[in-house]
């Protein structure tokens, strides 16, 4: 049950100490097939800090495995697919392709399978064979909060083994926490290494979230204990994280870091950095320079594809229309969001998640098939159909509904050019709030192989 927590200095020495302290190599043999599962959820169009596992930690891990005599190492991830996002682009952007060539590591795209059918209490999903084929599975999530399930650590990172269609299913049943727990019982890593080079507030991405330098690494052989300690470091009570509570209670595991043997840093309390997990969308949009637009909290039913597509569309809208006031308009996404209603009855509402103040919304946009189906009878709303809506449809619908047809016609050519450049990986929209990533706290070298 021991979890090691070590301050991150030089990655190789830090990882060696963290893994040695928790007995992390027990059961590993030189001839083993090793699979490393990082978090590279959205490798394009936004800063990487805190959102994805760092290349420096992955490289240190690969070097340590080489020291252990391992020659058969694979790294694999299945990113959120937004306008053709491919993990190959992510590997290139993060220097993981260089790392792979240097150390003879195989890189795979988990979105391409092959998959194995798995039944999670009646929910039939496809899980990448890679999750079961290796002799030694190492889960390497980033240390981050998550605006639906509070934390995204080891358990949540296992969702990357699901086929893209199965990830959508996780959100369709309103049992997201339960399904994450069940997946954690099917895919059991031999070792978890949580990369806390950075920690992400209001995650899981840096468009709406905010990264902080943390310089910590956690390691352990028991997945739940690692996540409990990770959540504690983020100032989030592990017993309030649905999937952790379910998993721990079912297995009689501790849900408090006080009851886990923590090795390495003596005073865990001194390392805690309380971070907000919710997102205040109006506040974030106002920081991007636009006002008068709210997005009711979508609950657990919003899946990553609509989340990412809407995220990109909002970012583009704000970036191209600085100073615009959308006059109390609402965008609903996911199955639960209704204009004028909080999407989580009975739950504490995130700030700004309820109906827009000031009465009727000027415009209502139903974004994605789920929101369209959930608000079938609503008159006068703009319906952006698709699962998720195609990016051009999304952009044109937002521009036309919120700004009017003339401004849409004027603004679209430049936006489409930026979109094409973003797809080609040669352009990234920049938000003012990302200026913070110019400070020396944030090192681009963490996303390059040495």
> Can you give the binding site for ligand SF4, defined by CB under 6 A?
168, 302-303, 305-306, 334, 368-370, 387-388
CA dist 140 and 51 (Å) reads 12
Query: Which is nearer to ligand SF4, 302 or 395 (by Cβ)?
Result: 302
Q: Which is nearer to ligand SF4, 57 or 374 (CB)?
A: 374
Q: How far is the CB of 183 from ligand SF4 (least distance, A)?
A: 18
Please answer whether residues 113 and 164 qualify as being in contact, where contact means their C-beta atoms are separated by less than 8 angstroms. Answer: no
Minimum distance of ligand SF4 from residue 67's CB (angstroms): 43
In the complex, least distance from residue 279 CB atom to ligand SF4, rounded to whole angstroms: 16
Q: Which is nearer to ligand SF4, 13 or 165 (CB)?
A: 165
Is the separation of the CB atoms in 118 and 125 below 8 Å?
A: yes
- Taking the least distance from each CB to ligand SF4, the nearer of 2 and 341 is 341
Contact (CB, 8 A) for 335 and 370: yes
Q: If 0-12 CB within 10 Å is exposed, 13-18 middle and 19+ buried, where does residue 313 land?
A: buried
Would you say 196 or 334 has its CB closer to ligand SF4?
Answer: 334
- Token readout for 420 is 């094409």
* Residue 271: count of CB within 10 angstroms of its CB: 17
Whether omega before 157 lies within 30 degrees of 0, making that bond cis, reads no
Residue with token string 């936004």: 46
Neighbours of 398 (CB within 10 A): 26
Least distance to ligand SF4, CB of residue 145, Å: 21
Nearest to 255 by CA among 240, 267, 270: 240
Please say which residue, 374 or 431, places its beta carbon nearer to ligand SF4: 374
For β-strands 364-367 and 106-109, DSSP reports them as unpaired
Nearer to ligand SF4, 166 or 232 (CB): 166
The minimum distance between CB 84 and ligand SF4, in angstroms, equals: 15
If the CB atoms of residues 6 and 168 are measured against ligand SF4, the closer one turns out to be 168
Per-residue tokens: 196: 């806390």
Q: Report the nearest approach of ligand SF4 to the CB of residue 147 (Å).
A: 14
Residues 6+ apart with CB under 8 A from 384: 365, 366, 367, 368, 372, 393, 394, 397
Smallest separation, CB 78 to ligand SF4 (Å): 15
CB nearer ligand SF4, residue 61 or residue 372: 372
Q: How many residues does the chain have?
A: 450
Q: Beta strands 142-146 and 72-77: pairing type? A: unpaired
d(CA 210, CA 432): 12
How near is the Cβ of 42 to ligand SF4 at its closest, in Å?
14
CB of 368 to ligand SF4, least distance (A): 3
Measured CA distances, 135 to 31, 34, 53, 131, 239 (Å): 9, 6, 22, 10, 32
């Amino acid at each position: 049950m021991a979890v090691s927590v070590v301050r991150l200095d030089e990655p190789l020495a830090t990882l060696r100490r963290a893994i040695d302290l928790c007995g992390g190599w027990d059961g590993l043999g030189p001839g083993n097939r090793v699979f490393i599962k990082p978090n590279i959820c959205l490798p394009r169009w936004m800063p990487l800090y805190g959102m994805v596992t760092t290349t420096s930690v992955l490289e240190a891990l690969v070097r340590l495995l080489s020291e252990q005599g391992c020659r058969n190492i694979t790294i694999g991830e299945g990113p959120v697919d937004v306008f053709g996002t491919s993990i190959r682009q992510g590997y290139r952007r993060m220097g993981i392709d260089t790392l792979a060539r240097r150390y003879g590591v195989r890189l795979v795209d988990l979105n391409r399978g092959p998959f194995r059918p798995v039944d999670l209490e009646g929910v039939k999903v496809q899980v990448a064979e890679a999750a079961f084929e290796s002799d030694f599975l190492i889960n390497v999530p980033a240390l981050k909060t998550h605006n639906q399930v509070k934390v995204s650590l080891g358990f949540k990172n296992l969702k990357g083994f699901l086929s893209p269609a199965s990830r959508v299913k996780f959100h369709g049943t309103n049992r997201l926490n339960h399904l994450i727990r069940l997946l954690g019982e099917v895919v059991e890593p031999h070792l978890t290494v949580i990369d806390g080079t950075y920690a992400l507030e209001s995650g899981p991405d840096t468009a709406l979230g905010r990264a902080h330098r943390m310089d910590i690494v956690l390691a352990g052989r028991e997945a739940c204990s690692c996540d409990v300690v990770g959540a504690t470091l983020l100032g989030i009570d592990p017993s309030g994280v649905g999937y952790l509570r379910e998993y721990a209670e079912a297995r009689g595991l501790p849900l408090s870091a006080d009851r886990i043997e923590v090795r390495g840093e003596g005073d865990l309390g001194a390392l805690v950095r309380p971070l907000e997990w919710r997102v205040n969308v109006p506040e974030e949009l106002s920081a991007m320079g636009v006002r008068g637009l709210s997005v009711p909290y979508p609950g657990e039913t919003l899946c990553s594809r609509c989340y990412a597509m809407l995220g990109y569309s909002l970012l583009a809208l704000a970036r191209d229309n600085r100073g615009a006031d959308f006059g109390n308009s609402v965008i609903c996404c996911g199955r639960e969001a209704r204009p004028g209603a909080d999407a989580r009855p009975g739950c504490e509402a995130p700030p700004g998640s309820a109906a827009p103040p000031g009465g009727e919304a000027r415009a209502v946009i139903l974004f994605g098939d789920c929101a369209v189906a959930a608000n079938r009878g609503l008159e006068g709303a703009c319906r952006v159909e698709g699962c998720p809506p195609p990016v051009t449809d999304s952009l044109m619908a937002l521009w036309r509904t919120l700004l009017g047809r003339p401004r849409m016609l004027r603004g679209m050519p430049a936006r489409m050019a930026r979109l094409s450049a973003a797809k080609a990986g040669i352009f990234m929209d920049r938000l003012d709030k990302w200026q913070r990533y110019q400070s020396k706290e944030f090192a681009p070298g963490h996303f390059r192989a040495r």
